[in-house]
Amino acid sequence: MKNSDVIIQTTTKVVFFMIFLFSIHIFFAGHYTPGGGFVGGLLTASAIVLLLLAFDIQTVRKALPFNYTVIIAIGLLLALGTASASILFDVPFFTHAYDDFRLPLFGLTSLHSAMMFDLGVYLVVVGATMTIILSIGSDD
C-alpha cells in the first residue's frame, strides 16, 4: 500500500485520545447523567476501530497487545466479584455499598461499588466488540 495516508493518520492520532477521554467521561458520568459502562465501552471500542481504519491490524495489535477474550473474562469476573462480595456479609446477592471518601486530588467524593460492576460491563463490551471486529477483519 503506497498511498500516503498522512492526513488521516495524523488526525487519528489526535482524535483517538479525544474519543477515548470522552468514553471515560461517559463511563464515570453514568450514575447521575446518561451514560455508563455500555456506551462507554462502545465508544472506547470505536476509538480503537478508528485506529484500525487509519493503520492496519498488525500495527494496532502491536500498539495494544491485548487478548480481548481474556478482557471479556476479566470483565465478567469483576462484575461477578462485585455482586458476590455481598455473600461474604450475608446480605442478599447484588447488595451494593457506598461511602464518601476524601481523595487527594478530587476532594470529597462519593464512591459506590456499582462502579466496579460498571467497569466489568465496560471491559466486557470492549472485549466483545473488539473480538467480533478483529475476527471478522483478520482471516486467521
> Using CB under 8 A as the criterion, which residues of the chain lie in contact with another protein when the complex forms?
69-70, 72-73, 76-77, 80, 84, 86-87, 90-96
Taking the C-alpha atoms of residue 90 and residue 48, their distance in angstroms, rounded to an integer, is 41
The grid coordinates listed for 64 are 495494544
Identify which of residues 8 and 116 has a Cβ nearer to another protein in the complex: 116
Cβ nearer to another protein, comparing 54 with 68: 68
CB-based burial of residue 76 (10 Å sphere; 0-12 exposed, 13-18 middle, 19+ buried)? middle
Handedness of CA 44, 45, 46, 48 (dihedral sign): positive
Nearer to another protein, 87 or 103 (CB): 87
To another protein, the closest distance from the beta carbon of 56 in angstroms equals: 26
CB of 114 to another protein, least distance (A): 10
